[in-house]
Structure 1
Amino acid sequence: MSDPAPEIERASALTNTVAAVVNPVKGDPMRVRQAISRHAYSTGAGKPLWFETTIEDEGADAARRAVAAGARLVIASGGDGTVRAVAGALRHTGVALGIVPSGTGNLLARNLGLPIGNADAAVEVAFSGQDRVVDVGLAEFTSPDGVATENPFTVVAGVGVDAAMIANTNPFLKERFGWIAYIDGILRSVITSKPVRSKIVIKNADGSQATHTFDTHSVLVGNVGGLPGGAELIPDAQIDDGVLDVAIMHPRTIFGWLYIGRTILWENLVLRHTKLGRKLLRIQSRLSPNVLEYARGPVITVKLDSPVAAELDGDEFGVAQKAVFRNDPGSLIVRVP
């Protein structure tokens, strides 16, 4: 449970400048607490405030309470869902976000070069690292009955087979094998996936826009592009460039899916990083099947003929028949190595 409000009110009168928002079922919360306390006292930050996420609050409300209590650094310990919730609450506050990655994918931490699997090292970065100003994505999903809700994301948001993959991932395998368990979910989702007619409008910074219509299986919008294992889903995505990058997947056969897998695991991961590899990509692009499109812009709107599953940073977010993704540039400070 979160620390009770009266205790927080008393703490706000002290010189507490550090707070922790911790998912109690991820990683080793006791070790994280000890590491944060040790660094807080050694740096003169005083007694850190401590909050635990709950089913009702993934961390956003706790982060807001931490800011109200005077915290200047809020450390999120958990998976990408916890980090997303805390990051969203810290937008435009000037309060720095520290991250102790304790989840399955830990995609934001990986893309920022933070220590993975070492809570002590991650806490050290949170206290002594550099401040980096980054963008946050905002996704507005409209349900089939017309109800629209907007939520932040730090890594990737999407509609289609990627969300189905999350739903189809076996919880036992995820707990036992980590991000590798998603492979099982991917295979089962691809087999059953059916394309949906989609109108995708990409608004550019100068006000112009481009419209694309595809029978899509998945539309993924990235604030960052790296995956576990070094694979690059959206290779040009940068967390501080003021735009979002979109990957539109529209294969017609299993061979199209195989080509997409090859693109992510071979072309994006290997060929793009060498001069010879880039030359080969230019040559073979003329022969490549038209199954994967990349585009970018500050605002991306997706209208679907029928509702599909939606996701944010690896969490299911119901179904959507329309999605609007926009970039909130320079809205968050993150502590990095």
Structure 2
Amino acid sequence: MDLGAVLSIIGLVVGVVAIVLLALVLRSLGRHRRELAELRAATTGAIPVVDGGEAGAGGEPTAQEDPPARLKKVAVVLNPSKFADADAFRARLREVVERVEEAEIAFYETTVEDPGQGQAREAISEGADLVMAAGGDGTVRMVASVLAGTDVRMGIIPSGTGNLLARNVDVPLEDPAAAMTAALTGQDRHVDVGWLQTGGSIAEASAASPQIFLVIAGFGADAEMIGHTDDGMKKRIGWIAYVLGGVRTVMGRSVDVVLDLPDGTRHTHRARTVLLGNVGRLPGGFVLMPGATVDNGRLEIVVAGWRGAAGFSQVVTEVVNPRLVPSRRTRIANRLSTMERYHSPAVQVVTAAPQPVQLDGDTDDEATHFIARVDPGVLRLRVPVSSRSRGR
């Protein structure tokens, strides 16, 4: 092994360690900031602002939505594999619902054969006006696929590795009772959902059943990273396991990618990954897609390519601290990395070779043709009142 290869490997290891340490620090700082804000509000009697929009004539914030109606029946679609003591979990939620809302509560457990869709349909047929998805991002996806386009409210009790949608709308992550309380007392927010069709040709993709994504769908290196991440490691160390799983994807080769946008423009790239973002905040406080918000009616499309560990480090730097990124001209001259961003309500993508696919962390079959679109405001999501000002 020559010196250049050794230095590249050393640089990669150092980069991964730095990312992990920085993520832990940012996460800790974020938690301390939230605790400080809550303490300040409690000591000053401050009332949370519903929306960070325009102030009224008297200088007071103007509320954007009516107070929520009283709920009659709350359904919990529960993934029992995500909770160590499902019976204690049910008892705690029942206590919260009875105390806060005095509503009926019912539980519907997911199975391997039916990870959430059938249970959500059953809950709707039995009169639920709020359906809580209690589990990881996969459970949230399945429940949302049924509730999208209906008037039934959805809430989230996060208990997965990423909990990506919950993070982006400020649902409490580590306290199921707090998450339930936030849904019972929160505001309805009409959020966008993404749909992805894939296949081995444009005809096959067009005929495929659309699959929902709420956070990020992607193909290429990101799907490889998820596929290489060990489930046992995720349970032990959480989302950092994805960082370790991603080490194996760094040295892969870029492929030719062609994007067709609704405005008639066509864009060609050499890329390792293409990401379609409905929201952009990741664990650890990283914002991968600053232009992706949950209710703006468009996707942020990121096309990234790199050569080796040095090129990958440039891409990581752009995510962690965009101000340190070299200019586009410098990157092209060095031929180490590229990152282009587009914003569009839809996109068609063709790749020169089959690529693995992921939707909100759930992997799918490989494909060469991808059709994606956003469906604006079709999911009625219950969020904490404080999330509206931060989620724009």
User: C-alpha offsets along residues 74-125 of structure 1, whole Å, 9 cap, x if unaligned?
Assistant: 0001111110111111011111111011000101111111111111111111
User: C-alpha offsets along residues 117-149 of structure 1, whole Å, 9 cap, x if unaligned?
Assistant: 111111111111111110000011114793623
1:140 is matched with which residue: 178, 194, 197? Answer: 197
Check 1:44–1:301 CA distance in 2 against 1; reply closer, same or farther (3 A cut): same
| Cα displacement (A) at 1:35 | 2.9
> Residue 195 of structure 2 aligns to a residue in which SS?
strand
| Cα displacement (A) at 1:216 | 1.5
- Contact (CA 8 Å) 1:197, 1:213: kept in 2 or not? yes
- Contact (CA 8 Å) 1:75, 1:99: kept in 2 or not? yes
Check 1:324–1:45 CA distance in 2 against 1; reply closer, same or farther (3 A cut): farther
Q: Give the 5 Å matches for 1:3-82.
A: 17-28=73-84, 29-43=86-100, 46-82=103-139
1:254 correspondence with 2:313 = no
Which runs of at least 4 in structure 1 moved beyond 6 Å after TM superposition? none
Counterpart position of 2:376: 329
> Residue 55 of structure 1 aligns to a residue in which SS?
coil
Structure with the higher fraction of residues in helix conformation? 2
Counterpart position of 1:9: none
| Cα displacement (A) at 1:249 | 0.8
Q: Give the 5 Å matches for 1:69-148.
A: 69-143=126-200, 146=204, 148=208
1:242 correspondence with 2:297 = yes
- Contact (CA 8 Å) 1:163, 1:310: kept in 2 or not? yes
Counterpart position of 2:33: none
| Cα displacement (A) at 1:288 | 4.3
- Contact (CA 8 Å) 1:142, 1:149: kept in 2 or not? no
| Cα displacement (A) at 1:172 | 1.9
2:237 is matched with which residue: 173, 177, 185? Answer: 177
Structure with the higher fraction of residues in strand conformation? 1
| Cα displacement (A) at 1:16 | 5.6
Check 1:83–1:314 CA distance in 2 against 1; reply closer, same or farther (3 A cut): same
- 1:92 alignment partner AA: G
| Residue identity (%) | 39
- 2:261 alignment partner AA: I
User: C-alpha offsets along residues 162-198 of structure 1, whole Å, 9 cap, x if unaligned?
Assistant: 111111012221110000000111111222x222211
Counterpart position of 2:250: 190
> Residue 162 of structure 2 aligns to a residue in which SS?
coil
- 1:220 alignment partner AA: L
- 1:243 alignment partner AA: R
Check 1:31–1:292 CA distance in 2 against 1; reply closer, same or farther (3 A cut): farther
Count the aligned residue pairs: 306
Q: Give the 5 Å matches for 1:152-171.
A: 152-171=212-231
- Segments of 5+ residues of structure 2 without an aligned counterpart are 1-70, 385-392
What is the TM-score normalised by the length of structure 2? Answer: 0.74
| Cα displacement (A) at 1:252 | 3.1
Counterpart position of 1:276: none
- Contact (CA 8 Å) 2:253, 2:307: kept in 1 or not? no
Question: CA RMSD, aligned part only?
Answer: 2.0
User: C-alpha offsets along residues 229-254 of structure 1, whole Å, 9 cap, x if unaligned?
Assistant: 10011121111000011110122343
> Residue 161 of structure 2 aligns to a residue in which SS?
coil
Is 226-235 or 30-39 further displaced after alignment?
30-39
Distance 1:100 1:125 in 2: 10
Is 113-122 or 29-38 further displaced after alignment?
29-38
Counterpart position of 1:291: 338
Question: Which structure has the greater CA radius of gyration?
Answer: 2
> Residue 354 of structure 2 aligns to a residue in which SS?
strand
| Cα displacement (A) at 1:284 | 4.3
| Cα displacement (A) at 1:45 | 5.1
